[in-house]
Amino acid sequence: MNYITYNKSEILKYRNNLAEIQAEFLRLFGVNDIFSNSKVYEVTIANELNHQLIKGHSGSRDAIDSDGEYEYKHFKETSSNHSWTFNDFSDNTINKLNSCQSVIFAHVDDTVFPAKLDWYYEVSGNVMSKYLEEKTKAIQNTRKMINISPNQIEKNLGIYKTYVKGVNTNGDYYDMLQTIFNSIQKLEILTSSKGLLTSNKIFELLTAVELNHNMESEQGGRDGAHDAYDINGNLYEYKISKSHSWNFQDISVNVLNKYLQDSEIILVVKNPEKLEIIEIYSASPVNTVKRLKEKLEEKRVRAGNDLRRLQVSLSKGDLEIIKAKRIL
């Protein structure tokens, strides 16, 4: 790991550009967080298909046009998983697809600049609902998760790719997308990082700027690399939320042991609408892991040893228990 001194003023200049775009999205389209969880790629899909984004994020449909509402699933060319995932499926989730016009299974080519939608499958909500109802009957994984592959869609549903030629420069979101991609490219160059539009990476960068850390350029998944390091090579784990509730997912023994290698666990509160970091807390990995184990055991007891996922959250009340210190 090679530590570099970030140019804070330059980084904040491009952050301000992105914050202005976020404010415009909120004002014009009611979308309040386009920079987390790859939401920007949903904007890209909507732009190409002449859809309108639906206000909100998770728990709602993604877009709408005169024909009805659409659910988006996408993966990027550089993703390790080239399939589309339905997480935590339930009868209710599957039944809701019946009221959906279509599910768009999209492929985003992020090996080009700017990233673009280059092909997709469109499956009617009714067809997808029936397919999931049948295919999930035999699934026993505790996460209640199913992956849908291109081969499944073509072989089992007889639906084939629609290719997208060029870019829809007349789309509602085109101009703002260009500003976003240009600013992100500048930030990635300035910080020698990648993938700032995925997960919470842009907020990880803003946290690193505040703490004089460097982001890891690429993270290795659940058991992989840490989030950041400092000039002395100390490692840090970041957890970022828009509230005082930080989610720790898939906390296997390996993951918990990885946390113990960190110098500190950093808990962050973000304001996605203003693209700002509001609060930062620092906690001992030993105290944090101890509390995570306690909460996981409490959850296991409540579930009768039938845990669907190794996942718990730390709340504001846990900050005192783990002796976290507010550092911003």
If asked whether residues 21 and 153 sit together in one domain, one would say: yes
If asked whether residues 299 and 203 sit together in one domain, one would say: yes
Which of 110, 139, 163 corresponds to the end of one domain? 163
In a domain, 180, yes or no: no
In a domain, 3, yes or no: no
If asked whether residues 229 and 319 sit together in one domain, one would say: yes
Q: Which of 185-194, 212-221, 291-300 has the lowest mean pLDDT?
A: 212-221
If asked whether residues 232 and 291 sit together in one domain, one would say: yes
If asked whether residues 29 and 126 sit together in one domain, one would say: yes
If asked whether residues 104 and 242 sit together in one domain, one would say: no
pLDDT recorded at residue 222: 42
Q: Mean pLDDT across the stretch 306-325?
A: 92
In a domain, 2, yes or no: no
In a domain, 193, yes or no: no
Distances (CA, A) of 162 to 45, 79, 105, 147, 320: 13, 20, 10, 20, 53
pLDDT beyond 70 at 60? no
Q: Mean pLDDT across the stretch 6-21?
A: 96
If asked whether residues 298 and 155 sit together in one domain, one would say: no
If asked whether residues 123 and 204 sit together in one domain, one would say: no
Bridge partners (DSSP) listed for residue 73 = 105
Bridge partners (DSSP) listed for residue 72 = 104
If asked whether residues 159 and 69 sit together in one domain, one would say: yes
What percentage of the chain exceeds 90 in pLDDT? 73
Do 177 and 114 contact (CB within 8 A), yes or no? yes
H-assigned helices in 116-223: 125-135, 150-157, 174-191, 201-211
pLDDT in tens, 147-188: 999 999 999 999 999 999 999 999 999 999 999 999 999 999
Task: Provide the 3-class DSSP secondary structure of residue 64.
Answer: strand
pLDDT beyond 80 at 219? no
In a domain, 183, yes or no: no
Number of domains present in the structure of the chain: 2
pLDDT recorded at residue 136: 83
Q: Write the CB contacts of 21 (distance below 8 Å, at least 6 apart in sequence).
A: 34, 176, 179, 180, 183
Query: Could you list the residue range(s) of the whole structural domain that residue 229 is in?
Result: 199-326
Q: Mean pLDDT across the stretch 130-157?
A: 85
Buried/exposed code over 27-56 (b: 16+ C-beta within 10 A; e: otherwise): eebebbbbbbebbbbbbbbbbbbebebbee
CATH code, domain with 267: 3.40.210.10
Q: Mean pLDDT across the stretch 103-124?
A: 96
If asked whether residues 127 and 236 sit together in one domain, one would say: no
In a domain, 186, yes or no: no
In a domain, 26, yes or no: yes
Q: Which of 120-124, 207-211, 214-218 has the lowest mean pLDDT?
A: 214-218
Binning pLDDT at 50, 70 and 90, where does residue 217 land? confident
If asked whether residues 159 and 205 sit together in one domain, one would say: no
In a domain, 66, yes or no: yes
pLDDT recorded at residue 224: 55
Which of 163, 181, 215 corresponds to the end of one domain? 163
- Cβ burial of 247 (10 Å; 0-12, 13-18, 19+) is exposed
Distances (CA, A) of 146 to 39, 99, 167: 21, 20, 31
If asked whether residues 144 and 286 sit together in one domain, one would say: no
pLDDT beyond 60 at 309? yes
pLDDT recorded at residue 58: 47
**pTM of the full predicted structure?**
0.88
Binning pLDDT at 50, 70 and 90, where does residue 218 land? low
Give the mean pLDDT of the chain: 91
